[in-house]
Amino acid sequence: MHTILLVCLALAAAVHPALGQDALRGKRLYHEVGRLSGAGVSCIDCHGGLPGALHGIGRVGDDPARIDYAIGAVTQMTPLRGRLSRQDMADLAAYVARPAVPSPEPRVSTSGAASLPYMPDRLEFAGAATGMVRLSNAGAVALRLDARPALAGEHAPRFAIAEATCAEGLVLGEGESCTVTIAFVPDAGPGLRLAVLRLAHDWIGGATSVPLIGRLSP
């Protein structure tokens, strides 16, 4: 009887490594458990980025019980009460122990009108023109795009997606990238035209957003 149980447990652990400790999932939780659980605050907001040791977070490595205790005992952590499962705590503790765990690393670069100051993570226009946004994955774990590129924001109608290799379902392996060509279609009148290109994906934040800025002089 006992032997059968042990064999089953061993098999479950082998088939479902996720039931053990998943440092990659823990990394995501550390950064956005506030958004995912409704708590509103995430570990990184108070404990800072890892590796680091703000408020003793470094002592948590592979010790999920310490997280459980802290959630009950630390006043500042009250918003997290009742929102983390045992699996969440195990994964968080695994991440604290292995902050260098390979993960997706979305990066944005842009190329646009050459006369404007080079801002690598946003796209600026001074008049009708096109510019390009490149999303790349600098991490060793694949990044998956969850939706096609979308425009949002106050002046979204002033921008258009002219061409895109970024597409729903696209998987970017390490070092791979995709692009979106944006056309700025100015209307009359001076001032700023602001929008955002949203690239939804399966990593922290659920999306990478790239500001689009049109500056029209009088």
Q: Pull the structure tokens for residue 217.
A: 């002089």
The closest of 135, 147, 137, 157 to 200, measured between CA atoms, is 147
Q: With respect to ligand HEC, which residue has the nearer C-beta, 76 or 165?
A: 76
Q: Is residue 100 within 8 Å of residue 52, measured between CB atoms?
A: no
Q: Considering only the stretches 59-67, 120-128, 140-148, 185-193, report the one whose residues sit in contact with ligand HEC under the rule CB under 6 A.
A: 59-67
Report 76-95 residues binding ligand HEC (CB under 6 A): 76-77, 80, 92
Q: With respect to ligand HEC, which residue has the nearer C-beta, 55 or 134?
A: 55
Minimum gap (Å) between residue 152 Cβ and ligand HEC:
28
d(CA 15, CA 18): 9
Of residues 50, 67, 200, 204, which one binds ligand HEC by CB under 6 A? 67
Q: With respect to ligand HEC, which residue has the nearer C-beta, 20 or 48?
A: 48
Contact between 43 and ligand HEC by CB under 6 A: the answer reads yes
Contact between 97 and ligand HEC by CB under 6 A: the answer reads no
Distance of CA 218 to the CA centre of its chain: 38
CB atoms within 10 A of CB 175: 10
Minimum gap (Å) between residue 185 Cβ and ligand HEC:
43
Minimum gap (Å) between residue 84 Cβ and ligand HEC:
6
Burial track 25-53 (b if 16+ CB lie within 10 A, e otherwise): bbbbbbbbbbeebebebbbbeebeebeee
Q: With respect to ligand HEC, which residue has the nearer C-beta, 41 or 116?
A: 41
Contact between 59 and ligand HEC by CB under 6 A: the answer reads yes
d(CA 217, CA 215): 6
Q: How many CA atoms lie within 13 A of 148 on its CB side?
A: 4
Judged by the rule CB under 6 A, the positions of this chain that interact with ligand HEC are 33, 41, 43, 45-47, 55-57, 59-60, 66-67, 70, 74, 76-77, 80, 92
